Structure 1
Amino acid sequence: MLVEKNVALQSYNSFGIQARALKLARVRSQEAVEQLVSGLGLNGGDAVPPLVLGGGSNLVITGDIKTLVIKVEITGRRVLEEQEKGFVVEAGAGESWHDFVAWTLEQGCPGLENLALIPGSVGASPVQNIGAYGVELQDRFHSLDAVDLRTGRTFTLNAAQCGFGYRDSVFKHAPSGEKGLGLAGRAVIIRVRFWLPKPWKPVLGYADLERKIAETGIEQPDARQIFDWVCAIRRAKLPDPAVIGNAGSFFKNPTVSVEQCADIIARDPKVVHYPMADGSIKLAAGWLIDACGWKGRGVGNAGVYEKQALVLVNRGGATGGEVMTLAKAIQTSVYERFGILLEPEPVVV
């Protein structure tokens, strides 16, 4: 197993932040991960766990990485099984998420189209429990395989064992964290499987998609049409990381009680909000940030995107420190005006 030293990470994180990894191992198979565990003695219990890196699209690097960085590059896509009630499809953790979504449609296996154009890798998708336009990954998840970094053994998790929450999973929590059995720094996801139910049903109850229906007059779009709409909507709203460094939506949409929402509406009637199945109300974090006047502003070379206040961008040469200083300033503004503390989505290292 070749371990590279002093590796530049700018091209490996979508923010384009300059930093270096003192040690970086590329893994392209399950066997390579097992070899890595055996060769480096990770089962000895390093004080600082390794950083598992997929597409780097949900990451803010604030300095050089002194622990081992494991770059997951495991590929492969296949339709595992077709049943009467649905398909099971599988992809290697290193596959591009968007390319995988497009591939499933080409195979006649719809169901992931609402999640098109989300940056990152397949392996990172369950870590973040990605979601967009009315669909979350947990809605389509079947199971995953991962390698235990202490023992080198492969294990499988189903949806319940992944502990999915809003932009959350067991992979985002340390073993001693609030969820108890956390897997952050303890496992490398190597492949993920998805359950795509039949008959296919479109998910259209989202304002942007409803506008597309009104604009085009297509009232019964197929999966490919929804895929194209989602891509167009995202491209119009969000910057391309290849052009402007960013990590997509930087803050989670907060949830509040009905009473809290009513209090905010009394002061700001235009606040964007959505009722949830559990009786809580979800607020649009981008609207809250915009209401505080942050759109287009910045700190140093880090800024708030002019077209979408929920996205922080690298205007050229931004450091992780500048990104986080900007994020904390936004959090303070929103808390002082609305009494809500926004929670960042990206992992900060």
Structure 2
Amino acid sequence: MTPPRLSLVDQHCHSVLRDDPTADSFAAHLTESDAPPAPGTSHLDTQLGFAVRRWCPPLLGLEPHCPPGHYLDRRRELGADEVNRRLLGSTGITDYLLDTGLDGGLLDLPGFAAACGGAVHEIVRLERLAEHAADTAGSAEALADGLAGAVREAARTAVGFKSIAAYRHGLDLDPAAPSRAEVRAAAGRWLDGRPPGGRLTDPVLLRHLLWSAAETGLPLQLHTGFGDPDLRLHRCDPLLLTDFIRAVRPTGCSVVLLHGYPYLRSAGYLAHAYPHVYADIGLSLSYTGARAGAVLAEALELTPFGKLLFSTDAHGLPELFVVGTELFRRGLTGLLAEWTAEGAWSAADAERVAAMAGGGNARRLYGLDG
């Protein structure tokens, strides 16, 4: 069965590098680790690394699985602009929901839009928004009063918000909205001990941001599961959000559980049980590579089909957009072929579910069709 040429909406991703990466930088973008690989190996010696070597070389005029050195030489020969154009243009992604909370030599929103040729929509990262506010706040009271206002202002142009509370504290937060007095006291503590540019880790202020975002009514993306060594994985199980999910439901905010791995079944349960919860499959597929079909099958066990969302979580390298889309399409194609062949699904339903997960659900959730 040929992978369907779906019109994809990448509902969670980041921008790409402006300049050519070095060999070490390229490999570092293929791992969540901050450490070097095992002696005598590379970060390309992973499921993700092998997937990059399978799907990306032909787009640059090379054979699949060519040696990494040949690929990087060809990359440098073409230059970052041409590589970005070729790789991003190959994916079939029509809309990109870009988390703008990362720095590090990345294209800005207009630059990324020019490179990808698609529609680009901003997802505002709450912690970065708060850190910018703290840089200019004259007092704890001004910061406490200004955070919710900054969220409301961002909501005028963004299509959603994203939080990395899982990294900064863990998902085992008090689910209730903090009081004004609690927020003011926490703002004072943060400003008193914060170096310039210091990160937000205070659980009271993290909760305040989550509730401020929820009250705008825009979708709220939350990192769950797998990530870099900053987090503690056992505190990133989406089931820890159950009480917050229940509490926030009256606001009308939709909660999007990002990534999930290895807690895909937890995310699927929450999407199954609560009408305002959605489950994202990004990152999980890219890092599992040749096993992506099995991982996608787990996500499809309990997640209602109208609540599963495609994304790549690509960052830095356009190769990660290519791999994310190829593994999603091929993993989904294999499952649909199996289930329709055995009569469990009809062909018409299989096509409908593929279109929903690939982009239809995201368009409805984020209002992308106006």
Fold-level match, TM-score > 0.5?
Answer: no
Q: Which has the higher contact order (CA 8 A, sep 6+)?
A: 2
Q: Under a length normalisation based on structure 2, what TM-score does the superposition of the two structures give?
A: 0.26
- The structure where helix makes up a greater share of residues is 2
- The structure where strand makes up a greater share of residues is 1
